[in-house]
Amino acid sequence: AYKSVLQLTECVDQLTTENIKAIHSQLMRSSKIQIVDNGGCTCAVHYINAGLTRLATKKSAVVRSHQYNLAYCPVELVDQQLDYICKMGRQYIARWRNPLATAAWIHVTFTRCHPFDAGNGRMARLLSSIPLIRHGFPPMCVSPLWRGVYYESMVTAWEGDYQPLINCIVQSVQASLTDVERIMA
* Separation between Cα atoms, residue 140 and residue 138, nearest integer Å: 7
| DSSP 8-state assignment for residue 77 | G
Identify whether the C-beta of residue 139 lies closer than 8 Å to the C-beta of residue 132: yes
Chain mean position to CA 92: 16
Q: What are phi and psi of 158, to 5 degrees?
A: -60, -30
Active site residue 46: no
Has 150 been labeled as part of a binding site?
Answer: yes
* Separation between Cα atoms, residue 177 and residue 39, nearest integer Å: 40
Has 72 been labeled as part of a binding site?
Answer: no
Choosing from 24, 46, 66, 114, the catalytic residue is 114
* Separation between Cα atoms, residue 111 and residue 139, nearest integer Å: 17
Is residue 87 classed as helix, strand or coil in its secondary structure? helix
Residues marked as catalytic = 114
Annotated binding site: 150-151
Annotated binding site for ATP: 150-151
